[in-house]
Structure 1
Amino acid sequence: MRNRVRIATAAVATALVVTGVGLWVRESESGHSDGGLGAEVRPEAALCVGSRPGPSAATNDTSDDTPLNRLITHIDSLARERHADVFTGLSVDEDAGAADLYRIPSPAFDEAVCEAAEQGVQVRLHDTDVDRAALDALAERISEDMTRWDGTFDMREVAVDERGWVHVGVDEPGTAEPLVHGAFGEEHIRVVHVGQASADRTQNG
């Protein structure tokens, strides 16, 4: 899980449903930009707004114990213990007090997450078709074979994107994309340009 900055997101509510775990909204999102991929239209996302009261002030003994952080910890636990087969990834929009949860559609997982959300915290639920374990395994396969392309193109980074794909950063996408897809398939792999400076920052932490 990693924090993500949303550069340009437009949300339009099209339907409302009130449930016992807060207010649910069906929204569509478009126009976000992501590291070389450019703007893209994303599928509709379901939004739940927390209605659960938070703990009393006496129990809040750390400055980072916020409603959003408590929810993130809870989602992490659910993803590891009960819903690993549907969990894809998670990103945090701290300015909006929201979490973006990417998962294979699962009413049980959605309910467990949304019923834990405290008042004012939003959870945006995005549909995917792959779980995190499969993405991790794919990223590992690609990473283990990074040097096979030496002399053809420079593979500079391989990382799982929480939205449901493996990000493969290279110096020459036009050359690399057909070769990477030919070796590992096209599903859940996005080949993008990454400059040398970006690759150096990744390697140096």
Structure 2
Amino acid sequence: MKDRTSGRATAGAAVMAVALLCALQGSSASAGADTDAGTDADSAPEQVCVGTQPMGSLPRFSPRGSTDDNPLFRTLMYIDKTADARYSAVFTGLSVDEEHQAVDVYRMPSAVLDAEVCGAAEKGVTVRLHDADANRKDLDALAGRISADMHRWDGTFSLRQVGVDERGFVFVGVDDPTKAEPVLKEIFGEHHIKVEHAEQAEAFTG
């Protein structure tokens, strides 16, 4: 199973105006299989490296004995924290593929970042590096602009979800993509926006 995650902790596709999709501390839905929003969702990685560091060489991010205390999780957390803190100008996001013990890293091309994450990975973990053309900070800002006024579009279409996909675009869920897409792209630009249909979320009652 491939669980998409990103460099910022948020919940997945939810009712919230800015539901930063694919979050690190919570599983979330991917924003679709294909996109023309600035990245190929299923593109092959530009580089693949396999971890060489001894198991347990990276810091633990969970209590000892936790099921999350394993090479894949430690590598994932190290890459997330390092990329966000030191390489925010190029880091876009990441996802984890538990089935293949792999971490997918999406970033603007950076030899320095690539060397950092490949050199840190523990044995048994594969790091797959994918090109993107926007960093997470800029995508977060774009998502915030789109969702700043949820009711701005009332009468034209219903804006239901907005979230950043780690592959390098902002997913926008609406009731009527045919009406919404040209309006949103005229205002916010052609690139880095993917508009799709999203069902109206229902309030949970216990």
Q: Distance in 2 between matches of 1:155 and 1:136?
A: 17
User: What is the distance in 2 between the residues matched to 1:98 and 1:116?
Assistant: 13
Poorly superposed stretches of 4+, deviation over 6 Å = none
Deviation at residue 119 of structure 1 after TM alignment = 1.1
Instruction: Choose which of 169, 194, 197 in structure 2 pairs with 1:190.
Output: 194
2:123 to 108, 119, 123: 119
Q: What is the rounded CA distance, in whole Å, between the counterparts of 2:73 and 2:125 in structure 1?
A: 10
Q: Give the CA deviation at 1:165.
A: 0.2
Q: Call closer, same or farther: CA 1:35–1:112 in 2, change over 3 Å.
A: closer
- RMSD over aligned Cα atoms: 2.7
Q: Could you tell me whether the CA contact under 8 Å between 1:103 and 1:127 is conserved in 2?
A: yes
Structure 1 range deviating more: 107-116 or 43-52: 43-52
Q: 1:37 offset after TM fit, Å?
A: 4.8
In the alignment, the residues of structure 1 paired with residue 79 and residue 124 of structure 2 have an alpha-carbon distance, to the nearest angstrom, of 17
Identity %: 52
Q: Decide whether aligned partners of structure 1 residues 73 and 38 sit closer, same or farther in structure 2, where only a CA change above 3 A counts.
A: closer
In structure 1, the residue matched to 2:173 is: 169
Cα distance in 2 for partners of 1:68, 1:106 equals: 22
Q: TM-score, normalised by structure 1?
A: 0.75
- Cα distance in 2 for partners of 1:175, 1:87 equals 32
CA distance in 2, matches of 1:36, 1:129: 18
Q: What are the residue-to-residue correspondences of 1:7-156 with 2, within 5 Å?
A: 35-37=31-33, 42-45=42-45, 46-55=47-56, 61-63=64-66, 64-156=68-160
Residue type matched to 2:171 in 1? Answer: H
Is the CA contact (8 Å cut-off) linking 2:31 and 2:165 kept in structure 1?
Answer: no
Please say which of residues 148-157 and 71-80 is displaced more in the overlay.
71-80
Aligned to 2:4: 4
SS in structure 1 at match of 2:3: coil
Aligned to 1:13: none
1:36–1:193 contact (8 Å) kept in structure 2: no
Taking a change above 3 Å as real, the CA distance of residues 36 and 50 of structure 1, as seen in their structure-2 partners, is closer
Is the 1:37–1:192 Cα contact (8 Å) retained in structure 2?
Answer: no
Q: Which structure has more strand as a fraction of its residues?
A: 1
Partner SS for 2:99: coil
Q: Alpha carbons of 1:104 and 1:166: their partners in 2 closer, same or farther (altered >3 Å)?
A: same
Q: 3-state DSSP class of the match of 2:194?
A: strand
Letter in 1 for 2:144: E
- Deviation per CA, 1:149-170, whole angstroms, max 9, x where unpaired? 1011111000000000000000
Match of residue 200 from structure 1: 202
Give ranges in structure 2 of 5+ residues lacking alignment.
6-29
Comparing both structures, which one devotes a greater share of its residues to helix? 1
Q: Distance in 1 between matches of 2:149 and 2:103?
A: 34
Q: Distance in 2 between matches of 1:118 and 1:68?
A: 8
| 1:25-71 CA-partner distances (Å, limit 9, x unpaired) | xxxxxxxxx55555867443111111211128xx9922221001111
Shift in Å at residue 183 of structure 1?
1.1
